[in-house]
Amino acid sequence: MKANTFFEEDIAAMLDSLQELFQEYETDVTETLVAERMERKLHRHVHYHQAAYLYRLMGFDAIRGNVHTDKWKYYVVPDLELLPEKRAQLGKVISPNNKV
């Protein structure tokens, strides 16, 4: 399998995961939650750094927690306009013959 196929699979899983997590947790989506959800979709290990790289690559931002108990966590900023835009772009990249 080519590396770009894995990349496209990872991006698709990340976007699906973000959409689900934003619906479930709204503003409390951490990069660890994104990685865990991606793992379930891809059936392989995804490190939270990889998940963070992918969502930042797609234009999503993250903010650091500001309370003492969560100051080491980074929360993905929900961008409900960017998410469908990126999903539409991905649909153009992946042809119907190349299913993710």
- Establish if 64 belongs to a structural domain: yes
**Which residues of the chain, if any, have pLDDT below 50?**
1, 95-96, 98, 100
Closest of 96, 43, 62, 29 to residue 13, by C-alpha:
43
Number of domains within the chain: 1
pTM over 0.85: no
Q: 74, 62 in Cβ contact below 8 A?
A: yes
pLDDT reported for residue 42: 94
Residue range(s) defining the domain that contains residue 33: 3-91
- Establish if 97 belongs to a structural domain: no
pLDDT reported for residue 29: 95
- Establish if 100 belongs to a structural domain: no
Closest of 14, 20, 11, 58 to residue 35, by C-alpha:
14
Q: Quote the strand ranges of the chain, DSSP E.
A: 62-64, 74-76
pLDDT reported for residue 93: 57
CATH number at residue 87: 1.10.10
pLDDT reported for residue 4: 57
